[in-house]
Structure 1
Amino acid sequence: MNHRFLNIVGLAAAMAFAGGCSTNKSVLDAKAPLPATTKAAKPTGAVPAWAPKKYKFNPSRTREHDLLHTTLRVSFDWQQQYLNGLAELTLKPYFYPQNQLVLDAKGMDIHSVYLMKGYDGTALKYKYDGQKLTIDLGKTYTRDEEYKIEISYTAKPNELAVGGSDAITEDKGLYFINPLGENPDKPQQIWTQGETEASSAWFPTIDAPNERMTQDTYITIDPKYTTLSNGAFVYSRQNADGTKTDYWKQEKPHAPYLAMLAIGEFAVVEDSWRDIEVNYYVEPEYEKTAKKVFGNTPEMMEFFSQKLGVDYPWPKYAQVVVRDFVSGAMENTSASTFMEDLQLNERELLDKSWDGIIAHELFHQWFGDLVTTESWANLPLNEAFANYSEYLWAEHKYGADEAAYLQLDELGQYLDEAETKREPLIRYYYKDREDMFDSHSYAKGGRVLHMLRKLVGDDAWWASLNLYLTRNKYTEVEVAELRMAFEDVTGKDLMWFFDQWFMKPGHPELIVSQSYNKGQLQLYVRQVQDTTYAPVYRLPLQVAVWSGGKKQLHPIVVDKAEQTFTFDVASQPQLVLFDAEQQLLGVVEHEKTEDELLFQFQHANQLAPKLKALAELQEQATRPQVQAIYKEALQDDFWMVRSTAINILSRLKEGQVALLEPAIRKMAVDDKKGSVRAEAILALAGWGGEKYQAVFNRAMQDSSYQVAAAGILAYAGTGAQDVKQKLAQFDKEENEEIVLALATYYAVQAGPEKYDWFMTKMKKAGGSELYYLLQSFGAYLAGNSQTNTPEAIAMLADLAQNHSLYYVRGSAYQALMVMSEKPEVQQLMQQIKANEKDERLLEMYVY
């Protein structure tokens, strides 16, 4: 599961155009994470906001029965949004004799339960409470006796209470998209989402990650639809009633939460890896670009198979893009599901690559599907590895800087979350299993794996992963089994590493200082993290020292609260770089002089130190020698260095950057990276856009949507008389970045004539685009009371009550608040709050 898409960067929805242009450059380009600095210490005795919480203990599910096989025969009622199912489950007691079977079955009508012997069935007594189906087996079975249960049922997912998390916004398991075909801009689809325990909302099962089953799935549907499920496609049979039945067979065991189906009018783009089918299921409009989005998949499969020494383990690999997905993507066995954002046209491909999320779900086919966490408490055994695969692929395919950029992003995500939450990676004490899907399990977990790789070395890293996978394939695991694989390969006792990084909360916070005297460099290191909650860490790392233009590496082990390290250095060091490999997950405060920072940018030759130097030098950015460094940065080979330099320089007044302005103006036109051109355009806009009208006008016609959107925002800020005319030419554009740029302007500068534009765009938008569009629409309604129509109220109320994404429901509710002086709107808002089940929204709602 990938939830990175939920880290949505802010749109300048409140941007004021009257009298100038206040630009928010995070609208158009990627986040530029910089290494953080140490926060002020908490008052003695105070309990920090992030202190670990003590919830009830959550062990793995006790295994009373072993679910061996599931056969599903399903058909659908589009009108009522029901699944009609017949499930045949083959089981046996796990160890102890059993005379009763308890299955997870959420929100169903149970029609019958039979014990099957061949084709003969004996009715069994059962009890059902809407969540658990308790079956009296009629006799006691031992662990050597298999038995088959047949259950006829109807799944009613829309009648379930809504749950979910930031990563998986709903948990009703089965989703009908545009079921009656009433929305001409949205296809009719059916798809499932099983993680964490939502597969039991569409078929009765033992819905726990430590269970495994093989599976046959028979899907009966209108022949116009294409189906997808786990395993190999066996056949499609035409039925007498005009329907067809597609049969998919999953012969190798996997966890029930990984079961899936997807149904829609998909174009299937065929590819292959070795002798395995690799197919991409997309809407027909995107058939020609599907391979440009997903086409690196076979190369990824080869790369991961070679490195792990374990070939991709399933009979096919399919990737399907669906509408209104409740997460970023999901690693269903042999058939990953993706959000609609991965459907790109040719022009959008200029700016976007989804290789990260594609690699993430693919790596899960080993880490999560082949070897599965035994409990949600051990979720990083799935997600940390999938997260780290993004780094591994970027390092292999795109080079060290792209990989380092990803790692900085991960560090920033974790440290942001650590301001309010610090828990162990492996945590048995949690309030809700959905809470495990956070930046600890993903971002911190990936960075911890990187440190483990650096600790043992590359050869041992890959050998240990091979042992872990081969030893534990088709089974469930806990973190000790990962540790033992590494120990068995390396011969090292790694309990200390796993204890401090997996079992303890927090991260190291270090203050580093130095002195030099008579050929000796002394490095002082203090660990200042709150040891009430975090350990004193053991940190093997390297220190790089430049002296006389030469670099020396010194390995050290930081393992005390206060420590001094002494090195022989012939002359005054030009730079001391703590953690020379930039592998540490933590916060390091190491003050440097201006000269040291200038030297660091030019000689460290790594992304993080270069960006850190630029950030630390921004207070001196008007000094000639510092501007010379920024000039170098504007010419750097890596796009993020150029982008960061522009971002920092844009905060200065125009006269302070006179020598660098021509270079930035040139970059706005011809930098090879679209996001950098967009950054440069917004910088020029902040310096007084009128004289750059020609640049902005050209930008609006740029091949990159990012650049065109920046041009729209920048040109709007010039106050030119033809702004509305210029922007109107983009009104029919469907691209998200263009639409949101226009919405930002129309929110505060347009009148009733743009009402229909807003309504049309909102009906077509989904996900994060709709979230931001609603924010702009709320501002628009506030400035145009005559557009507060019953139609607008009804649309917002429908979104606030019925949209599958909680943050869209919240944004629609906020837009309604603009009209809260109307009694009918107040009544609607009270009704919305009364019916809302999501605690995240209820905390916000005022009525």
Structure 2
Amino acid sequence: MNHRFLSIVGLAASMAFASGCNTNKAVVDAKAKAPAAGISTEAPADTIPVWASKKYKFNPSRTKEHDLLHTMLRVRFDWEKQYLKGSAELTLKPYFYPQDTLVLDAKGMDIHSVSLMRGNDATPLTYGYDGQKLSIKLNKTYTRDEKYTVEVIYTAKPNELVTGGSDAITSDKGLYFINPLGEEANKPRQIWTQGETEANSAWFPTIDAPNERMTQDIYVTVDPKFTTLSNGAFVYSRQNADGTKTDYWKQELPHAPYLATLVVGEYAVVKDKWRDKEVNYYVEPAYKETAKKIFGNTPAMMEFFSQKLGVAYPWAKYSQVVVRDFVSGAMENTSASTFMEALQLNERELLDKSWDGIIAHELFHQWFGDYVTTESWANLPLNEAFANYSEYLWAEHKYGADEAAYLHVDELGQYLSEAEGKREPLIRYHYKDREDMFDSHSYAKGGRVLHMLRKLVGDDAWWASLNLYLTRNKFSDVEVAELRMAFEDVTGQDLMWFFDQWFMKPGHPELKVEHSYANGRLQLQVQQVQDSAYAPVYRLPLQVAVWAGGKKQLHSIVVDKAEQTFSLAVEAQPQAVLFDVEQQVLGEVQHAKTDQELLYQFQNARQFIPKMEALAKLEEKVTEPQVRTMYISALKDDFWAVRSMAVNTLSSLKEGDAAAVESLIQNIATRDKKGSVRADAILALAGRNGAKYQQLFQNAMNDSSYQVTAAAILAYAGTGASDTKEKLARFDKEENEDIVLSLATYYAVQGGPEKFDWFMKNIKSANGGELYYMLQSFGAYLASNSTTNTPEVINMLGDMAKNHRLYYVRAAAYQALMVMSEKEEVQALLEQIRASEKDERLLEMYGQ
């Protein structure tokens, strides 16, 4: 979910709260607005911090008894029953030791037969099946030099599985039928798969482990109106006598079983190209005209990554497909990435939003995760940290240093937020569930650690090391030591210290920095104050920038003790001191600075993060002339996030130059080139003197940007204008989520019974974060419109609270039901919901 969406919804939540609504605000990226400055203290000796690393059972990589060489699938579907009827021919050989038994992962299937194949001849084999594992007695003991092929005829029944999931991948049933009977209006019929972590074995028998690799053929039989997509190259489509068609997809290079994919639906296929390879975008027909604007940077990304890595994109083609109700944000299936429906944008939405980050993320996985794959989920950062960091690399290349730094701070905020309750090593073999690996450690912290590694060795060595890592380990599975050895072999350095403290140990450095000047020397005192019982004393090579006499000097230091003092030669009293000038260290830094130093830093550092630090630390002094002047200059900054922060802070001025500042904000509200900044300015004006700007808000409701229109709706409503309902009614049919959520905030307290159908329609069509916020507003609406507390509403909310795949949506539905808790039937329903809930987070919230 993007930053601007959360900001507008955050304001909506605040307005609703002020009106008496029980609206909870989701995570707002406050940590992305300024560098973290908090310093932790050591825990008392007799307590264990809540975030301390947990020691669960050891989770090794899967033992390789057999080597799966090739999988050939023939599949067709029963849409009514939501079954897959399949035939799987698996070619294998013993990995090293002789074997007479083959055990396959096969979850929740009906197994009809198992045979040994010799050409077209099938010899039945004895097998046992427990619903999870298919144990096959082979016809003899095979050695590692002998291949054999088994055929399994089966029916997959994914909806009959007991499923789990995680925050990152909310369901693990492998195969999904979307609107299978065509009964849901405005939703296409689709079938798609999601294999990570070990869910593909819910739709075909396999050895479902990341350290296995196979080539594959997939023959999929469907109605001719459907388009199919799978890994590798499309070979042919054959018309069948029964009126169906069979599409044949061939994956000639080996990949892990969890990366196999199959998608079926009615798609517009928009063709593109990179070098001599097909690049295709599969979207719903309504988005055919904008597909290239959404995904169109893909060929440029492929070229950029191929050149930098020195390894050309390795697969036969690259396709990207959008599916409905996806259980994750996106998935890097080999040569065929899947994306959530939020990527489908119309022309107007494209003015505000770009999905380049997630597109780059899944593309980089084609090297890091697909070409070279983690050998176990304990080593997941070898996949996800690289994909995460690719977002930074692309932003830096395409959009510049400030945009990349903005992502950088956001990643730090995500990790530090999680670190308040959880601190684990990046590479962790002790975990409760493999799904727990998909967290802000593996993604956000991992990406930041890779950035530090890049800064440590330098760009030339960074790219050369990645080239060696990829070429040495192509089409194989790896652990973190192999990444370390690639960097050591290129640089000639022993990097065990870096990998040990950042990959193998939990926590992060927490630094307290002070500086003083006397007799031509700058004394820089650095303390590492993190709890040494739970985190190491870090070795941190970094640079310090010192401005003196209007000139900038750089000093290289290595922080490697709990307390250190560095004495640096400086000719005059420093005007500013910037610790870790590249802002690359992952951690918390508290560096005391004078107001004058911060003012000088803002004007001279010319980097996003130091500017934001100055703005954040001087925010409470905005009424002082020099600080106010700094903020006014920030309104003209080249980077949008700096302008936004300046707008939001200056809007609080109530004296002095308040009128002049208000005029500047008014100008930004109508003229800033960035829609999100215009939206911030409109909300700022609404908070100052909304009635004065009623006409401006009315005009802004016609802005080209949805974000601006959404802000204007809230602002106009806040004026108390008598025609508010009339003005807002023209947006009732709008489907854009920014607009819908803005209306929901107003209708929650001012809508009346006539808006019941509007709420029900939008709740039924919403997904994910939008649905969460809709339910929050709906709860407030129900509280003020008791006539709408109907059995239909109770049943709908009860079903969501029990069964929705997203835990936070279940929580929001439960909260909405609480509004009606005086009803006996609702009390009974709430008790049922609590009894059926398995998620520990919700059980804690429910007091269970």
The answer to whether the 8 Å contact 2:92/2:147 transfers is yes
The answer to whether the 8 Å contact 1:189/1:263 transfers is yes
- Range moving further from structure 2, 220-229 or 647-656: 647-656
1:31–1:509 Cα change, 3 Å:
closer
Instruction: Please state how far the C-alpha of 1:724 moved relative to its aligned partner.
Output: 1.0
Q: Give the match for residue 434 of structure 2.
A: 433
Instruction: Please state how far the C-alpha of 1:658 moved relative to its aligned partner.
Output: 3.1
The answer to whether the 8 Å contact 1:25/1:682 transfers is no
Instruction: Please state how far the C-alpha of 1:258 moved relative to its aligned partner.
Output: 0.3
Which amino acid in 1 is paired with 2:398?
K
Q: Give the match for residue 682 of structure 1.
A: 683
Alpha-carbon distance in 1 for matches of 2:808, 2:619: 36
Q: Deviations over 1:358-395 (max 9, x none)?
A: 00000000000000000000000000000000010001
Secondary structure at 2:573's aligned position in 1? coil
The answer to whether the 8 Å contact 2:106/2:132 transfers is yes
- Range moving further from structure 2, 497-506 or 114-123: 114-123
- Please tell me whether residue 423 in structure 1 is matched to residue 455 in structure 2: no
1:75–1:691 Cα change, 3 Å:
same
1:19–1:404 Cα change, 3 Å:
closer
Instruction: Please state how far the C-alpha of 1:468 moved relative to its aligned partner.
Output: 0.2
Q: Deviations over 1:451-488 (max 9, x none)?
A: 10011111000000000000000000000000000000
Alpha-carbon distance in 2 for matches of 1:400, 1:589: 24
Alpha-carbon distance in 2 for matches of 1:778, 1:746: 11
Which amino acid in 2 is paired with 1:513?
E
Instruction: Please state how far the C-alpha of 1:17 moved relative to its aligned partner.
Output: 8.3
1:190–1:108 Cα change, 3 Å:
same
Q: Deviations over 1:283-315 (max 9, x none)?
A: 000000000000000000000000000000000
Q: Deviations over 1:616-649 (max 9, x none)?
A: 0012110011100001101101001001111222
Q: Give the match for residue 564 of structure 1.
A: 565
Alpha-carbon distance in 2 for matches of 1:567, 1:405: 31
1:139–1:840 Cα change, 3 Å:
farther
Alpha-carbon distance in 2 for matches of 1:139, 1:570: 83
- Range moving further from structure 2, 532-541 or 806-815: 806-815
1:683–1:814 Cα change, 3 Å:
same
Which amino acid in 2 is paired with 1:262?
V
Q: Give the match for residue 269 of structure 1.
A: 270
Which amino acid in 2 is paired with 1:566?
S
Q: Give the match for residue 41 of structure 2.
A: 41
Alpha-carbon distance in 1 for matches of 2:332, 2:628: 47
The answer to whether the 8 Å contact 2:84/2:203 transfers is yes
Q: Give the match for residue 293 of structure 1.
A: 294
Q: Deviations over 1:114-170 (max 9, x none)?
A: 111111111111111111111111321111111111111111111111211110111
Q: Deviations over 1:574-633 (max 9, x none)?
A: 011100111111111111101000000000111100000000001211001110000110
Which amino acid in 2 is paired with 1:461?
W
- Please tell me whether residue 695 in structure 1 is matched to residue 679 in structure 2: no
Matched-pair identity in % = 77
Q: Give the match for residue 605 of structure 1.
A: 606
Q: How does 1:247-646 map to 2 (within 5 A)?
A: 247-646=248-647
Instruction: Please state how far the C-alpha of 1:810 moved relative to its aligned partner.
Output: 2.7
Instruction: Please state how far the C-alpha of 1:450 moved relative to its aligned partner.
Output: 0.6
Alpha-carbon distance in 1 for matches of 2:316, 2:772: 39
Alpha-carbon distance in 2 for matches of 1:29, 1:379: 25
How many corresponding residue pairs?
845
Alpha-carbon distance in 2 for matches of 1:383, 1:368: 8
Secondary structure at 2:342's aligned position in 1? helix
Instruction: Please state how far the C-alpha of 1:718 moved relative to its aligned partner.
Output: 0.8
Alpha-carbon distance in 2 for matches of 1:23, 1:648: 24
Secondary structure at 1:190's aligned position in 2? strand
Secondary structure at 2:845's aligned position in 1? coil
The answer to whether the 8 Å contact 2:233/2:249 transfers is yes
Alpha-carbon distance in 2 for matches of 1:313, 1:628: 53
Which amino acid in 2 is paired with 1:799?
M
Q: Give the match for residue 808 of structure 2.
A: 807
Q: Deviations over 1:173-227 (max 9, x none)?
A: 1111111100111110000000001011111111110000000001111111000
Q: Give the match for residue 242 of structure 1.
A: 243
Alpha-carbon distance in 1 for matches of 2:155, 2:837: 25
Which amino acid in 2 is paired with 1:772?
Y
Instruction: Please state how far the C-alpha of 1:734 moved relative to its aligned partner.
Output: 0.7
Secondary structure at 2:660's aligned position in 1? coil
Alpha-carbon distance in 2 for matches of 1:815, 1:100: 54
Moved over 6 A (4+): 3-9, 17-31
Q: Deviations over 1:308-346 (max 9, x none)?
A: 000000000000000000110000000000000000000
Which structure would you say has the larger RCO, counting Cα contacts within 8 Å and 6 or more residues apart?
1
Q: Please report the TM-score for the alignment, with normalisation by the length of structure 1.
A: 0.97
1:704–1:789 Cα change, 3 Å:
same
1:838–1:242 Cα change, 3 Å:
farther
Instruction: Please state how far the C-alpha of 1:40 moved relative to its aligned partner.
Output: 4.3
The answer to whether the 8 Å contact 1:678/1:706 transfers is yes
Instruction: Please state how far the C-alpha of 1:567 moved relative to its aligned partner.
Output: 1.1
Alpha-carbon distance in 2 for matches of 1:818, 1:126: 54
Instruction: Please state how far the C-alpha of 1:801 moved relative to its aligned partner.
Output: 3.4
- Range moving further from structure 2, 747-756 or 368-377: 747-756
Instruction: Please state how far the C-alpha of 1:689 moved relative to its aligned partner.
Output: 0.9
The answer to whether the 8 Å contact 2:188/2:266 transfers is yes
Secondary structure at 1:660's aligned position in 2? helix
Q: Please report the TM-score for the alignment, with normalisation by the length of structure 2.
A: 0.97
Alpha-carbon distance in 1 for matches of 2:521, 2:430: 48
Alpha-carbon distance in 2 for matches of 1:724, 1:76: 49
The answer to whether the 8 Å contact 1:28/1:709 transfers is no
Structure 1 unmatched runs, 5+: none
Which amino acid in 2 is paired with 1:279?
N
Instruction: Please state how far the C-alpha of 1:4 moved relative to its aligned partner.
Output: 8.6
Secondary structure at 1:688's aligned position in 2? helix
Taking only aligned residues, the RMSD between alpha carbons, in angstroms, comes to 2.1
The answer to whether the 8 Å contact 2:29/2:410 transfers is no
Alpha-carbon distance in 2 for matches of 1:830, 1:60: 41
1:26–1:639 Cα change, 3 Å:
farther
The answer to whether the 8 Å contact 1:32/1:640 transfers is no
Secondary structure at 2:645's aligned position in 1? helix
The answer to whether the 8 Å contact 1:29/1:675 transfers is no
Which amino acid in 1 is paired with 2:303?
E
Structure 2 unmatched runs, 5+: none
Which amino acid in 2 is paired with 1:506?
G
Q: Give the match for residue 819 of structure 1.
A: 820
Alpha-carbon distance in 2 for matches of 1:136, 1:842: 44
Alpha-carbon distance in 1 for matches of 2:689, 2:163: 49
Secondary structure at 1:99's aligned position in 2? strand
Alpha-carbon distance in 2 for matches of 1:518, 1:395: 41
Q: Give the match for residue 842 of structure 2.
A: 841
The answer to whether the 8 Å contact 1:324/1:804 transfers is no
Instruction: Please state how far the C-alpha of 1:796 moved relative to its aligned partner.
Output: 1.9
1:476–1:365 Cα change, 3 Å:
same
1:503–1:259 Cα change, 3 Å:
same
Instruction: Please state how far the C-alpha of 1:27 moved relative to its aligned partner.
Output: 10
